Amino acid sequence: MKKIIPELLFGGLALFGLSLIYRDIPGGAEIVTLVMVLLSTFYFPFGFIYLNEIPLGQIFLRNTYREISWPRRIGVPLSGMIFWSLTFGTLFKIRMLPGAGELLSVGIVFGSIILLVLIQRVIKSSNKSFYRRMLIRVSIFLLIGISAYFSN
């Protein structure tokens, strides 16, 4: 059985909610808000565990984190904060709330820095699979954030 990727599940639900908003069907805004808040909450506190693929039973064991390099210990939580910022900024932009531009700007600037670091890591690192997955994830979030920033 394949593992369900939470980003695809949340992304599909967000697109469903956006289609409801576009068609003026009640409940679309609530679905989008709920899904994007859940996604951003998922990434900010739990991003380190999820993105490093740490099993739930080993979260509190000291030996679990010895294999994780220090750039990953710093970069993954920062990436989680960037995903949080871009997700909330997009939500604020969809709901036309104040502060969307600031959240998206912070996410885009720091996301671009993380993207450059990830490109360098993909070229030079021996653990390319982790950095490729992160590169794809950051690129998708940046594209969504940039498109939300420049939309009306």
Cβ atoms within 10 A of the Cβ of 72, count?
20
Count of other CB atoms within 10 angstroms of residue 130: 19
pLDDT at residue 4 above 90?
Answer: no
The number of C-alpha atoms within 13 Å of 72 and in the hemisphere containing its C-beta is 20
Span 15-60, pLDDT tens digits? 999 999 999 999 999 999 999 999 888 888 788 888 888 888 888 8
**For residues 149 and 108, what is the distance between their CA atoms, to the nearest angstrom?**
9
Q: To 5 degrees, how large is the angle CA 138–CA 54–CA 110?
A: 25
Output 44 or 111, whichever has higher pLDDT.
Answer: 111
Contact 38, 26 (CB under 8 A): no
Confidence tier at 2 by pLDDT (50, 70, 90): low
